[in-house]
Amino acid sequence: MFLQDSDIQFINKTSSHKPNQPQMIECFATWCGPCRMMVPHLGQLTQKYPNVHIVSVSQEDFGTVSQFSQSNPQTKAYNLAVDTNGKVGAIMNQFGVNGIPHAFLVNSDGKVVWHGHPGQCEQEIAKLNNSYTPQQPKSDNNQRTTISFASLMKK
């Protein structure tokens, strides 16, 4: 897993990351005009691509991002968090990213398969969405039910 839910502090949590589920990590700031323009788009992506865990993460403090969310109800449509541990900042540095908004698409193996402006990721996020099959709980098809002969006779 590339980014775990425990690596960030959620302000809005609409879904939890499932094992081997692809991710979109969108880096933003509340003061960034182009980032603010992505808010409706992120909500649309979340609805359109349910097999991709989408989270928008800011390196600002919790109070600032929480206030931003309260004054922008559209942010309630997707996961919104703050980078309390510096993990997202480290990812941005690793990839030489110094501008926002910026998104990372991560496949089921935890490998970044695309990164760039979140407004230009739709083709790649669709591929990730289609490549993921949620894991179903394992059932024991060989489980047998034992009924005693005596219990049948009582009926």
Instruction: Count CA within 13 A, CB hemisphere, residue 154.
Output: 5
86/65 Cα distance (integer angstroms): 16
155/153 Cα distance (integer angstroms): 5
Answer whether residue 137 shows pLDDT above 70. Answer: no
Please classify residue 137 by burial: count the beta carbons closer than 10 Å to its beta carbon, then call 0-12 exposed, 13-18 middle and 19+ buried.
Answer: exposed
Which of these, 77, 39, 74, lies nearest to 58 by C-alpha position?
39
- At 26-44, the pLDDT tens digits run 999 999 999 999 999 999 9
Judge whether 104 and 115 are in contact, CB under 8 Å: yes
110/51 Cα distance (integer angstroms): 15
- At 115-125, the pLDDT tens digits run 999 999 999 99
Domain ranges across the chain: 5-134
Coil, strand, or helix at residue 8?
A: coil
In this structure, which topology does domain 5-134 adopt according to CATH? Glutaredoxin (3.40.30)
Tell me what percent of the chain is helix, strand and coil, each rounded to the nearest 5: 40, 20, 45
Answer whether residue 1 shows pLDDT above 60. Answer: no
pLDDT mean across residues, the chain: 87
